[in-house]
Amino acid sequence: MRRQRIAYAGEDEADAVLRDHGYAILDQQVTVEFPMVLDGEEVWVHNRADRVVQRDGQIWVADVKTGDRARDPTHPATRRQLLEYWLSHEADGVLLVDMEDRTVIEVEFPSGWGPG
């Protein structure tokens, strides 16, 4: 319960942090659907991003984090979430908003590193 209250408070302050770093807030809690194929059957799943923002003509999907491990972009759960944002949302990039340090980290996944 305490962690949930901290998370909600962090998200409330996230808009101010993003604005302080030059981002304009376009939307909050944006949900997209995308397909997966499971044993040959297409299944649609959802992904919800905390914020969609803009700066210098680029659109970013932002993930707001509190707590020690979650705000580390290399932490497996956080890294997977950022990667899923990048793959499922039509954006130029993804951001990690660290509410403890009030910083915004631009996260990139270079093309050509995956299978194929």
Pick the CATH number of 2-107 from 1.10.357.10, 2.70.98.30, 3.30.465.10, 3.90.320.10: 3.90.320.10
Beta-bridge partners for 94:
61, 107
Give domain limits for the chain.
2-107
The answer to which of 17-21, 42-46, 76-80 has the lowest mean pLDDT is 76-80
| pLDDT higher than threshold 90 for residue 26 | yes
The pLDDT of residue 9 is above 60? no
Helices (H), 21-113: 76-88
CA distance 8 to 6: 6
Q: Measure the CA–CA gap between 60 and 42, rounded to whole angstroms.
A: 28
pTM over the 0.75 mark:
yes
pLDDT over 80 at 87, yes or no: yes
Contact 42, 28 (CB under 8 A): no
Do the Cβ atoms of 91 and 51 come closer than 8 Å? Answer: no
Residue 86 burial class via C-beta count within 10 angstroms: exposed 0-12, middle 13-18, buried 19 and up: middle
* Reported confidence tier of residue 5, pLDDT bands at 50, 70, 90: low
Q: CA-to-CA distance for 96 and 101, rounded, in angstroms? A: 11
CA distance 76 to 80: 6
Provide the token pair at 21. Answer: 């770093």
